[in-house]
Every structure is written in C-alpha cells, then in structure tokens.
C-alpha cells in the first residue's frame, strides 16, 4: 500500500471559528462506475462543509492494490490535480473529510486523517467513519492491553483493531462483530478489494444515503448533495441499524446486524450541519429551515424594519421569519467568500479584527433601521457580540437576535466539535442574562417544541419518547457517554 506525500495547509483563521459548532466529518464511497477516485473527490468537495481540516481517499486496483492519498486543507486545493488522480487507479474507493474531535490531541498529524486501513487474513479493508464512539477510551485501553498498536488518537481506529480480533470469515462479518462492541454514533463507508460497505448505528444519529450511478454503479454519501454533484440518482437512506454490501457487479445485499431500536436522528442536521440543497428524511433541508424561521416568527414576534440573516447558515430561517412576519428581508451582512485557509499570517491586529475578516455590514441598508438578526445558534456568544457591535456601528436603531435553534446548553458526544459545557453560554445563563451579555434589544430562541413542529412533528416533541437526538438542547443523551461519565461528566438526569 502506497501513500502520497501530504501537503500541510495551515488555517490561520481557525481562531475565529471557535464560536461555531463543527460537524466532525463527511464520508463518500463509489463502486462499479469506472475510475472511483475522481467521483470520490467530487463527492468530498460537495461535503466540504462537514469537515475542512483534512481529507483522504483510498482506492483499489487489481494490479496495483490499495493506494491512498491524505491531505490537509480543502479538497479543491489537494485532490483536483491529475498528478494525484494518477496515483489512485481503481473502480472502488472511499473518502473522508474531517474536523478533529476525539482525535484532536494529535489533530495536526497526517496519521489522524481517515480512511483507516487494515490488512486481514482475507485481504485489506479501509474504513471511514462519521460520528463518535463514546466508549472509545475503554475499548482502546482493552485493545492495547491485548497487544494492539494504535497509529492515531482517533476513536475511529478502534473499529479496525476490533475487526482484526474478530474471527468472522469475511470483512462484512468482522465489521458486524466490531460494531456490536461500539457505543455511540457511526455512519460508516468501508471497502474491500471487491465490495463497498455502508452502515449506520441502530439509532441512525448521523446521516448516510445510497445512490445509483448508471446501470451498475453505486455511491454512498453523508448527504444527497454529494450524489447530485456526480449525477447519481438518490435511491434511499441507509436505514438506522442497516448494513449494505455492494459488489462491483452491482449486487446489493442488506443486513440487519443490530438489535432494532427506535431511531434518534440528530435534529441539528436540520438546523445547521447539512447543506440546504440536501434531502433528510424525505424533506428538503432548505424548506425545513424556512419552516423553522416561520415558527420562530410565530413564537417571537417583534416590531422591526428589516430581517437580516447571519450568513450563510441563517439565511433560509431569516427568509421564513420575513415571510411569516411580513417584515422585509434584506442582506444586511455580506460574507467574504474568499477568506480561506491560505490567508495571510494571523497577526494580533488581524485576530482583533475578528469576524470583520469574514463578514461586513451593508451600511446603506442598516442605518437607522430596527434589525432582526437571524442566526442558527449561539454557542459561546463571542461572535454574536461582535456582529451586534458591527450592526450598531453601522447606525442601526435596534438589534433583535432571533435564533433558529433552542439554547445549546450541553456538549455533543456523537461527532460534533462542541466546547466544554462550562463554555456554552446557555449552560450558565438564562435567556435574559444572555440578552444582557450580548447587549441586544431582545433575544429569543425557538422552543424545542417549535423546532420539532418545524421538522414535521405536528404535536411537537414527545417527552416520553423523543423522536430525534436533541441532547445538545435537552441534556438527554440517547447513548450514555460512558467515557465522559468516567471522567466525571454529569448528564442532565443526574
């Protein structure tokens, strides 16, 4: 197995992103549709919003075996040259884009970048994982005690080691054995020399979809937007607790390796993580976010002159708020689309500019107006305060924040890069205290019931059997975060 040399792309603006929740990663796989690497690279490009730190691609060619490329930086900068594609021949391949969460201790090392590869008695296999394993520390300790040697700090590497210790007769069976020992959230694409495999955890916390390429080709992806970019037909979602095994000849076999449980899909995928042009649970993400804005306008009306989104994540909800309230919509804040990872060195002066490097106020629209700012969430509050200051500096008469999610008061342990609980503004302050802290005229969040209504649950949230994973809002974790509890974390029920 050969590896191309990594290119380090520093991100001097990472310090400006600490007030945003980041999805950990996106996964993509293709088989039976000709050269896989270009398709995987395009799919990862469409999933770039799910992970911008690094990416990796693994392919298999009958003559040259397994080959992979792993790079820091954006897909467009690292996987678009013909020189790279020439090192990745083969008609089956998988890929991964990432942010660092559990593996952040070694996050700047190329060995942390997925997919991970293992050579087994029946041949090699590569695995790419979206989610987080909440018992990874216990598993790692046990595996190291039994002689396993880890190459990374990523929780995902546990899967490869568990597969190596399985006595299953083939790769899919070994993966089933491994995943039965894993707790947490996992949407996985994997590959052998001749097969593409996709699997979701029994709760279906993270997304995974299946598409068809031509007559015999298939693709697996975190979101439908990645199927669109390669012209694949969206067939269906891989169901919670399902494993699909696809051959080069186009055969697709569905397995049910886990005990059936009531699904708990991540509701924040609807609010922020997924691209607005994707489909989740049969619903347009864009239409859902517009519905969130409408619901927010019903719950938290205000007299104002303009509704403005905090771009880009707040845009659909702001449109919905405007349509429901009758207050005109306007692009009062403009995003600089060309601030990237290879920007100038971050001097102290540049750091102090904060969000002004990425956002600028449209002064001609804002001056003298009472402005409703619609954003997807408030995490630590630092960005919200800076945006408020920019709006007031531009001459706004009043600033009203409307947030398209309930207060984020609990960290996520299922694959989202979340600050520690004490750093979450809503964990230590009431809504009124947050309003005073941010220095705005009013601050309202959509209610949890309102969010559920917006995503299609007409009766709101069922408190006895919640339909989604909403732990970041409620503190009710559908899978006990055992590693965190062992370190002293106290969940809401305690």
Q: What does the alpha-carbon distance between residue 450 and residue 345 come to, in Å, rounded to a whole number?
A: 43
Q: Residue for token digits 């669109």?
A: 228
Q: ∠ CA 227-230-236 to the nearest 5 degrees? A: 25
Catalytic, out of 25, 158, 199, 225: 25
- Crossing angle between the packed helical segments 157-165 and 171-180, to the nearest 10 degrees: 110
Rg (CA), the chain: 23
- Catalytic (active site) residue 25: yes
Question: 54 φ, ψ to 5°?
Answer: -165, 170
Catalytic residues: 25
């Amino acid at each position: 197995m050969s590896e191309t040399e990594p290119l380090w792309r520093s991100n001097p603006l990472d310090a400006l992103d600490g007030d945003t929740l980041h999805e950990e990663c996106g996964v993509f796989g293709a088989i039976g549709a000709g050269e896989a690497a270009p398709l995987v690279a395009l799919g990862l490009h469409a999933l770039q919003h799910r992970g911008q730190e690094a990416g990796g691609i693994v392919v298999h060619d009958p003559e040259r075996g397994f080959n992979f490329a792993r790079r820091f930086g954006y897909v467009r900068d690292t996987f678009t040259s013909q020189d790279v594609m020439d090192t990745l021949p083969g008609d089956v391949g998988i890929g991964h884009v990432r942010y660092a969460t559990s593996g952040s201790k070694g996050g700047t090392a190329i060995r942390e970048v997925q997919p991970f590869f293992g050579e087994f008695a029946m041949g090699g296999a590569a695995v790419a994982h979206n989610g987080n394993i909440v018992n990874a520390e216990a598993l790692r300790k046990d595996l190291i005690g039994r002689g396993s040697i880890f190459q990374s700090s990523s929780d995902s590497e546990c899967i490869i080691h568990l597969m190596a210790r399985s006595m299953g007769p083939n790769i899919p069976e070994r993966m089933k054995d491994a995943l039965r020992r894993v707790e947490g959230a996992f949407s996985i694409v994997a590959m052998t020399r001749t097969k593409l495999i996709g699997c979701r955890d029994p709760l279906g916390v993270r997304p995974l979809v299946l598409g068809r390429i031509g007559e015999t080709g298939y693709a697996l992806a975190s979101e439908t937007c990645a199927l669109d970019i390669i012209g694949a037909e969206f067939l269906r979602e891989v169901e919670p607790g399902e494993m699909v095994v696809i051959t080069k000849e186009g055969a697709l076999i569905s397995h049910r390796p886990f005990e059936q449980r009531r699904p708990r899909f991540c509701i924040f995928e609807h609010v922020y993580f997924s691209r607005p042009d994707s489909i989740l649970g049969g619903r347009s993400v864009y239409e859902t976010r517009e519905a969130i804005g409408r619901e927010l306008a019903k719950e938290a009306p205000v007299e104002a002159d303009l509704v403005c989104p905090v771009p880009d994540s707040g845009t659909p909800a702001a449109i919905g708020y405007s349509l429901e309230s009758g207050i005109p919509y306007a692009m009062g804040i403009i995003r600089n689309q060309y601030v990237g990872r290879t920007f100038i060195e971050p001097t102290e002066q540049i750091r102090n500019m904060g969000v002004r490097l990425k956002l600028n106020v449209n002064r001609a629209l804002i001056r003298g107006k009472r402005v409703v700012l619609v954003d997807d969430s408030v995490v630590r509050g630092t960005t919200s305060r800076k945006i408020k200051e920019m709006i007031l500096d531009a001459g706004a008469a009043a600033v009203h924040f409307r947030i398209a999610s309930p207060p984020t008061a609990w960290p996520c342990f299922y694959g989202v890069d979340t600050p520690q609980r004490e750093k979450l503004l809503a964990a230590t302050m009431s809504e009124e205290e947050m309003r005073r802290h941010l220095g705005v005229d009013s601050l309202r969040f959509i209610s949890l019931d309102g969010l559920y209504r917006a995503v299609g649950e007409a009766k709101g949230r069922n408190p006895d059997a919640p339909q989604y994973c909403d732990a970041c809002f409620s503190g009710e974790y559908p899978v006990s975060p055992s590693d965190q509890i062992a370190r002293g974390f106290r969940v809401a029920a305690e």
